[in-house]
Structure 1
Amino acid sequence: MKPEKVNPREVFYQPSRMVVPLFQRPYVWSKERQWQPLWEDIARLADVLATKNPAATHFLGAFVVQQLPSTLGTMQEWSVIDGQQRLTTLQILLDSLHSQLESRGLAMLAAQVEPLIVNPAAFHKKPEDRYKVWPTNLDRAGFKSVMSAPAPVDYSSVVPSRLAEAHQYFSDSIGAWLDKADELEISAKLLVDAVSGQLEIVSIRLDATEDAQAIFETLNARGEPLSAADLIKNFIFQNHAGTEAEVEVAYLSNWAELESPWWVTQVTAGRTSHPRASWFLWHWLRARRLEDFPIRELFTQFKGYVTDRRPDLSSLLPEIKTAADRYRFVIEGAQAVNGPLTRVQWFSYRVGTLDSEVVRPLLIWLDEEPQSDVPEKDKTQILKYLESWFVRRAIVKAPSQGTNRFMVDLIVHLSRQPHDRLAIEVQSYLASNKTPVGYWPDDTEVASTLKGAPAYNKYLRARLRMILEALEDYRRGYPDWNALGMGPIARGVGTVEHLLPQKWRANWPAIWSPDEAETKAASRDRTLHELGNLTLVTQKLNSKVSNGSWSKKVEHFQHINDVLLTNDVIQSAPTNWDETLITARTTMLAASVLKVWPAPAGHIGLATQPVQPEASGEVDLALLVSEGLIQPGTVLVARPAVLNGATAAVGLDGRVFVDDVGYDTPSAAGVAANSTGLYRGVINGWRFWKIQESGKSLWEVRNEYRASLGEDDRGNEVGEDVQDSEQIEAELVVAESTNEADDE
């Protein structure tokens, strides 16, 4: 390793070619984050050189290259290990400067810059030998187009690319700076000197025998890290056998697709966000290793897998490609709004609304070559069992901590079974588990959970919509029965509508005697958000219809409605809709839920099922996320000062994550954050956590939502909450002062 401080003239003057390996990520620098700050630094440097300090310099960072084998008399080539963004940008900057100088007739100055961007013709054995830096294959067309364009560059005629945008930005900036010059040639020479001679960069050149991969990983462990998928790609192709041409063929055939926009899109699950390719590789590797590990360890685990099992990379890459293609087919199909899906796509859509990516390794494992002899009917049956397990657990709000491990344990169990018994083994494994993390809720628990429950407030809107969609498709004969001619309902776009309006007091006046009015109103409020009062509408109702009388709603639905769930209601109750009918419909829909997602005959879930008392107006964190009042990823801070600003984050499903572990309630997360026992008060999670950005407690956000529904007048519930919160606040103060006294 030979580190030295150099300038661009010393880096680029001698004939040489720095090749960015095809497995490195493409050019990603942008105007706001890199181009503009770099140009502003150069402009300031030129001013300092002219007025204050002719020896001033500006440090740009470092790059690492490794010498490639070459024959006598040929041009030296280097492989860029790190710093390709910086080196490529310098070439774009120098070429923009050269173009501006030529356009202004400054031929002598342009001739000083030209050797820094073009190798002498005598060294050209192939067309790309012209360039000092040869970028990764995804950038080559754009780089070649703009770097070979005649001055002044016509940007409308070059290949559109981020590199062309960078070239135009630097060219425009240089042109504007030169336009302001009092003496053009003097200012131009000053700029040439600043860019080519006074920018400093640390060059680290490795011999061919040094471990470039280890250095690459060390350098990228700091700053803004590469994704796990980027690191895995680099590792694979650094170690892939064959010539450069053979490695490029392997890349183009098996990996290039993983760098397309669909795969590099950031996807959030729980509280973490990664490129989709990294999520896929995490699922794939857990299916391969039959071990659970956090996604943050993905690259380390992949290296261990390759080191321990030494698979042939030329064979492993096509296997990854096959699994990736299947993964994309399932997910893209699940995102389709209309039309029938394959059974696995339907499964993926439904379970995906539950924020349950934990099943992906099992789906990948089922499609691997060793399981190719498993009959499709058995795979379909496995999906049915798993879908029932996931949905029933979501309905009863069974704890989700540990399900990653549970799914991997299931794969391990299945890997030891005969393939003709896999469906039976899945059913048995799920039905026999009697722990909170793995049990399969039985009919009684699911039905009792839905009975009288405020479903509209209890479940994330996407999940509730999925359940209603499934009930509607069940009526239409999808996905596993004889389908009707009307097709399945559109997915993910319908609106959950109350049949009895939320603001019924203003729009549905009731004829009750004074003696019974209070009791009747309370009964109606209790049933308002029940499953039996909800339906799907494919065209959102205007407020006049939504809040109108029952006769208006019936008339509207008779003319504009294609939802069988709604038709069933207006046909069975054409003149009146009340709490008695809502309760009966809740029971009927709950029975349909049990048919859509059945459990084995006679199945019993937990011996002692958890009791979850429900308030009629329950507002949990999942509802606040569903309504957009709290965004997924929102950072929460513990209010007690003794916890030194312990933080948590809100997940997509309303769970609260502390140290990457999700908790179903704010209070449970508060207990976890207080694991040291520093805070001695009672933990009410709604008061315990506040939103970092706004400073509001979760309790305040929840009460603002309640107020927006006109529910401040609900009497005891709000009053008790205020009293409880005041008590907790007092306990916080006492606990904090006590701990402070102890510290002293």
Structure 2
Amino acid sequence: MKASETSFRNLLEGSKQFKVPLFQRPYSWDKNNWETLWDDLMTLYVDGVEGYHFLGPIVTLAEPGTPDGISPYLLIDGQQRLTTLTLMLIALRDLLKRQDSELAEELHELYLINKFKKGEDLYKVLPTQADRTFYRHIVQATDVEKRGRIYDAYSFFLRKLERLETTESIISLNLSRFKTIVLERLTLVSITLNEDDNPYLIFESLNYKGAPLTQADLIRNYFFLQVPKQKHDDVYNNFWLPLQEEFKTVARGKYLDELTLAFWHYLRKDGLSLKQSQIYQVFKQEFEKKKHNALQELEQVIEFAEYYRKIHFPETEADSKLARWFKRFKRLDFTTCYPLILNLYHDYRRKQISLGEFEQALRYVESYFVRRLLCGMPSNALDKVFNVLYRDLKEQWSGDIVSTLRQMMLGLQRTQVWPNDDSLRRSIVEEKLYTDRRND
């Protein structure tokens, strides 16, 4: 591992490419981050002294050079800063086109692209797949789609620069001087890893304690660690990306949180008891214990994540009968039973139980929850029940899964008991179903 202080100019000069690996999340800086960087630049610009602003480390892994002379680097840490600075340069280039076309061309050819290269080798910075198309269009200034964080960052800096050009602006902007400040007075520590260093594990250690990554991010990273590098693009495009996009559709900006919950329930379906903060750690342990093929394991994880999506977002369930049940469970917040429901859904999809049997099982689960709710029984004991219920059910299964499930639930004792009809009637007659808090 080698570390050295460098400027943004030195980092970009020459035929280089900084490629964001698949195991990093898409570009995520927002307006607060952009404002902070802009304020720091304006301080340097206004002060007029030869000061510098330290941006932090850029961690890269040098890869074998290409036959046509490109020096590629895998960008392990620092993609947010490097991508943002590049988008700022693109905004500056586009403003320079109106005033000084030669300076604009110099900026484009020396610091944004590798001139005379083709395809992906053309770009000095290449974001991860989710952002790549947007970024390429902005660099080439062609068919720019005006949406997404990449475009928003570019647009933010372009507006800031344009505002300083107006006669009303307090600061008189010299674009050539501004370019020099960005390229020469923003400093970074460039850390280059050796071939023997594992980029996935280093990225994990850099980010895990600061918790900018979700458990879902870490699991994704771990899968790519297990898959041969030459298969990364295929695995990403055929497995991970479709799953991610489906969760984005229903959960929008919180899709990684929902994926994390899906993985949590996936681990609990086999009777494991764990906190959400332990998902990655336990997943890693279980995967290494089972010694499964990585792609087969990923396929199963995705399969159960899809079940979770249909159960938790009933509008995505195609079968109207199941969608009706899932809506009722979600309305009543019966997420505690998800480990059982996920397994039953799997049995249904594998045709081990019929739709009618699945519905009857859901009916028993709903009855159990509602009876306890009406009887005022605490729900804190139910996590343990549903964590192991399917595992115990499989051990006692004797042909009719629904009857076996009913008998097991009726046999629950003490704090986990299924209230009988007499208890239910008594609670309805004698207990308040709600509390009037208007006079509290």
Tell whether the structures are fold-level matches, with TM greater than 0.5: yes
Determine if the alignment matches structure 1 residue 276 to structure 2 residue 258. yes
| Residue aligning to 1:128 | 120
Q: Deviations over 1:663-683 (max 9, x none)?
A: xxxxxxxxxxxxxxxxxxxxx
**1:395-438 deviation line (CA, Å, top 9, x unaligned):** 112111132222112122123234624223211221111121x2
> Is the 1:98–1:114 Cα contact (8 Å) retained in structure 2?
no
Paired with 1:240 and 1:204, the residues of 2 have a C-alpha distance of 25
| CA deviation profile, 1:583-630 (whole Å, cap 9, x unmatched) | xxxxxxxxxxxxxxxxxxxxxxxxxxxxxxxxxxx34xxxxxxxxxxx
CA gap of 1:317–1:12, structure 2 versus 1, over 3 A, is same
1:117 maps onto 2:149 in alignment: no
Quote the Cα distance in structure 2 between the aligned partners of 1:360 and 1:191.
56
> Given the alignment of the two structures, is residue 355 of structure 1 paired with residue 336 of structure 2, yes or no?
no
Contact 1:414/1:426, CA 8 A, preserved across alignment: yes
Q: Deviations over 1:354-406 (max 9, x none)?
A: 32212112122223379835321433332222111111111112111132222
Residue 175 of structure 1 corresponds to 162
Deviation at 1:114, TM superposition (A): 3.6
Instruction: Name the residue aligned to 1:4.
Output: 4
Partner of 1:239: 226
Cα offset, 1:140, TM superposition: 1.4
- Describe the shift of the 1:24–1:112 C-alpha distance in structure 2 as closer, same or farther (beyond 3 A): closer
Q: Counterpart of 1:34?
A: 33
Q: CA contact under 8 A between 2:23 and 2:224: conserved in structure 1?
A: yes
SS at match of 2:3: strand
Say if 1:109 and 1:192, in contact at 8 Å, map to a contact too: no
Q: Which residue of 2 aligns with 1:301?
A: 282
2:302 to 297, 304, 321: 321
Q: 1:279 to 1:263 in 2, by over 3 A?
A: farther
Question: Does residue 145 in structure 1 map to residue 137 in structure 2?
Answer: yes
In structure 2, the residue corresponding to 1:34 is in which secondary structure?
A: helix
CA distance in 1, matches of 2:398, 2:293: 26
CA shift at 1:352, angstroms? 2.0
Residue 243 of structure 2: aligned partner: 258
2:398–2:404: 8 Å Cα contact kept in structure 1?
no
Distance 2:222 2:62 in 1: 18
Structure 1 residues 312 and 165, CA gap change in structure 2 (3 angstroms): same
| Structure 1 counterpart SS, 2:91 | helix
Q: How many angstroms apart in 1 are the aligned matches of 2:34 and 2:274?
A: 39
**1:63-99: CA deviation from partner (whole Å, max 9, x where unpaired):** 2222223355531212222222221111101111122
> Secondary structure at 1:225's aligned position in 2?
coil
What code does the residue aligned with 1:293 have? Answer: L
For residues 182 and 372 of structure 1, what CA distance do their matches in structure 2 show? 69
User: Given the superposition, is the C-alpha separation of residues 173 and 324 from structure 1 closer, same or farther in structure 2, using an over 3 Å criterion?
Assistant: same
Shift of 1:139: 1.0
State the distance in 2 between where 1:203 and 1:402 align. Answer: 52
1:166 aligns with 2:145: no
CA distance in 1, matches of 2:315, 2:140: 45
Q: Tell me if the contact between 1:24 and 1:136 (Cα under 8 Å) persists in the aligned partners.
A: yes
Report the Cα offset of residue 62 of structure 1: 2.2
SS of residue matched to 1:204: strand
1:387 maps to what in 2? Answer: 366
* Equivalent residue letter for 1:2: K
Q: 1:335 to 1:251 in 2, by over 3 A?
A: closer
Partner of 2:190 in structure 1?
203
Q: 1:350, CA displacement in angstroms?
A: 2.2
2:23–2:200: 8 Å Cα contact kept in structure 1?
no
92, 97, 109: which one pairs with 1:97? 92
- 1:42 maps to a residue whose letter is L
How many positions carry a matched residue from both structures? Answer: 436
Query: Given residue 35 of structure 2, which amino acid in structure 1 is its aligned partner?
Result: Q
* Distance (whole Å) between structure 2 residues aligned to residue 263 and residue 235 of structure 1: 25
> Structure 2 vs 1, CA of residues 296 and 133 (structure 1 numbering), >3 Å: closer, same or farther?
same
Find the aligned partners of 1:114 and 1:75 in 2 and give their Cα distance: 15
Which stretches in structure 1 are left out of the alignment for 5+ residues?
Answer: 151-155, 268-272, 459-617, 620-701, 708-744
**CA distance, structure 2, for counterparts of residue 391 and residue 93 of structure 1:** 57
Residue pair 1:8, 1:197 contacting (<8 A) in 2 also = yes
2:405 aligned with 1:420, yes or no? no
SS of alignment partner, residue 285 of structure 1: helix
Q: 1:22 to 1:411 in 2, by over 3 A?
A: same
- What does residue 18 of structure 1 align with? 18
Shift of the 7–158 alpha-carbon distance from structure 1 to 2, 3 Å rule, reads same
The 3 A distance-change label for structure 1 pair 44 and 183 is: closer
Counterpart CA distance in 2 for 1:231 and 1:139 is 20
Aligned equivalents of 1:254, 1:109: Cα separation in 2: 41
Structure 2 counterpart of 1:61, one-letter code: G
Of Structure 1 and Structure 2, the greater helix share is in 2
Classify 1:114/1:340 alpha carbon distance in 2 versus 1 (closer, same or farther; 3 Å).
closer
Do the aligned residues in 2 keep the contact of 1:21 with 1:136 (CA within 8 Å)? Answer: yes
Counterpart Cα distance in 2 of 1:397 and 1:64: 56
Evaluate the alpha carbon distance shift between residue 30 and residue 71 of structure 1 in structure 2; reply closer, same or farther with a 3 A threshold: closer
Quick one: distance in 2 between partners of 1:135 and 1:263?
25
Distance 1:40 1:94, change over 3 A: same
- Give the structure, 1 or 2, with the largest relative contact order (CA under 8 Å, sep 6 or more): 2
The percent of aligned pairs where both chains have the same amino acid is 25
8 Å contact from structure 2 (residues 3, 190) kept in 1: yes
Cα gap change, 1:255/1:79 in structure 2, threshold over 3 Å: closer, same or farther? Answer: same
Q: Which of these residues, 44, 60, 76, is aligned with residue 65 of structure 1?
A: 60
Find the partner of 1:431 among 404, 410, 434: 410
Distance (whole Å) between structure 1 residues aligned to residue 411 and residue 332 of structure 2: 23
Q: How many Å separate the matches in 2 of 1:182 and 1:280?
A: 52
Query: How far, CA to CA, are the matches of 2:201 and 2:316 in structure 1?
Result: 40
**Pair 1:225–1:210, CA change in 2 (3 A):** same
- Give the residue type in structure 2 aligned to 1:18: F
Residues 132-177 of structure 1, C-alpha deviation per residue, up to 9 Å, x if partnerless?
1111111111111111117xxxxx8545332122112111212222
Q: Is 1:230 the equivalent of 2:217? A: yes
**Superposition pairs of residues 588-667 of structure 1, within 5 angstroms:** 618-619=435-436
More displaced, 6-15 or 309-318?
Answer: 309-318
Please report the TM-score for the alignment, with normalisation by the length of structure 1: 0.55
| Mapped partners of 2:401, 2:407: distance in 1 | 10
Q: Find 1:447's aligned residue among 418, 425, 432.
A: 425
Higher gyration radius (CA): 1
User: Contact 1:2–1:204 at 8 Å: present in 2 too?
Assistant: yes
Q: 2: CA distance between counterparts of 1:61 and 1:204?
A: 10
Q: Against the structure 1 CA distance between its residues 430 and 15, is the aligned structure 2 distance closer, same or farther, given a 3 Å change threshold?
A: same
Query: 1:451 is paired with a residue of what secondary structure?
Result: helix
CA distance in 2, matches of 1:20, 1:65: 10
What is the one-letter code of the residue matched to 1:13?
E
Task: Tell me how far apart the structure 2 counterparts of residues 98 and 115 of structure 1 sit (CA, whole Å).
Answer: 12
CA shift, 1:210, in A, is 0.6
Would the aligned equivalents of 2:347 and 2:353 in 1 still touch at CA under 8 Å?
no
The change in CA–CA distance for 1:26 and 1:229 in structure 2 (over 3 A counts) is same
CA contact (8 A) 1:354 1:394 kept: no
Measured in 1, the distance between the counterparts of 2:400 and 2:319 equals 29
